[in-house]
Amino acid sequence: MIALKSEWEIERIRAACELVGRTLAEVARHIAPGVRTRELDAVAEAYIREHGGKPAFKGYQVGGRRFPATLCVSVNEEVVHGIPGDRVLAYGDLVSIDCGVLLEGYYGDSAYTFVVGDTSPENRRLIQVTYEALYRGIEQAVPGHTVGHIGAAIQAHVEANGFQVVRDLVGHGVGRHLHEDPPVPNYGRPGQGPRLMPGMTLAIEPMVNRGTWKVRTRKDGWTIVTADGSPSAHFEHVIVVRNEGAEILTTFAYITQLLAPESLPYGQAAGH
């Protein structure tokens, strides 16, 4: 069942999303060669708890398995759900940080792909196209469209630029639960899936690979990696469908204020 949110609920989701945005920026301060991914996780958990929230991912259960950390930290070929640990970041790595927060009974969720230092032109293109695809999808989140409009816009932009969208993982509704209906695929056709209505709150999150769209799960039961070992990028916003279009409830503004211009996805506007 798809829950349409009241303005009161939307404001609480917005507050949780605000804390997520600030947490991602705090984590970004510590991304550098030589840093272990568990150090980033410790920064995030401390920051969330100091600001009255709870880590949404820590203890999240799927099939009897509980996620052991605050962040999903996915490096290079890791698409999503990377478990923070002893992996040491190296110059040139792509690091996708996915963060969720529970604040006063409502969830916020967002993801951003960072570069450790600098990286190859092709990796920068991957990040740029993934970032742009996120906003192409958001533009389609208007009343009367369907979930398929979002996925079709993302897929078209990604494939036109020579990359592939992951098919096995999707976006989702968000609110009182971290994952709610409807699923929001990053591929499809206009007219497919549930019709969008004002008050729907959705996490839109393209996951894009340089090589094949196919993925596999590592033995830890959580970490999803590209089947061919190619790099992957991931961006995520939570939006609410309004009569006039989508309103973005998460923010990258604190990240864009922090990072040097050359570290940002090409064409990224400050405040997004």
Residues in the chain: 272
Q: Rounded distance, CA 143 to CA 234, Å? A: 26
Nearest-5° Cα angle at 10, 63 to 180:
20
* Structure-token pair, residue 1: 């069942």
- Tens-place pLDDT, residues 109-147: 999 999 999 999 999 999 999 999 999 999 999 999 999
pTM: 0.96
Confidence of residue 269 (pLDDT cuts 50, 70, 90): very low
* DSSP string for residues in 88-124: BP-TT-EEEEEEEEEETTEEEEEEEEEESS---HHHH
Confidence of residue 230 (pLDDT cuts 50, 70, 90): very high
pLDDT at 221 over 50: yes
Looking at residue 142, what is its pLDDT? 98
pLDDT at 268 over 70: no
Q: Are 57 and 110 in contact (CB under 8 A)?
A: no
Domains along the sequence of the chain with CATH: 7-263 (3.90.230.10)
User: Position of tokens 């203890």?
Assistant: 59
Q: Rounded distance, CA 67 to CA 82, Å? A: 10
Interacting residues of 17 by C-beta distance below 8 A, sequence separation 6+: 101, 108, 109, 110, 238, 249, 250, 251
* Structure-token pair, residue 51: 């600001």
**Bridge partner list, 225:** 78, 216
Looking at residue 74, what is its pLDDT? 98
Looking at residue 271, what is its pLDDT? 39
pLDDT average, residue stretch 188-207? 98
Looking at residue 262, what is its pLDDT? 66
The DSSP call for residue 236 is: B
Is 191 in a helix, a strand, or coil? coil
Interacting residues of 7 by C-beta distance below 8 A, sequence separation 6+: none
CB atoms within 10 A of CB 230: 17
Q: Rounded distance, CA 236 to CA 189, Å? A: 20
- Tens-place pLDDT, residues 64-112: 899 999 999 999 999 999 999 999 999 999 999 999 999 999 999 999 9
Share of the chain above pLDDT 90, in %: 93
- Tens-place pLDDT, residues 10-65: 999 999 999 999 999 999 999 999 999 999 999 999 999 999 999 999 999 998 89
Nearest-5° Cα angle at 168, 197 to 127:
85
First to last CA, the chain: 30
Looking at residue 65, what is its pLDDT? 93
CA-based nearest residue to 212, from 198, 199, 231: 231
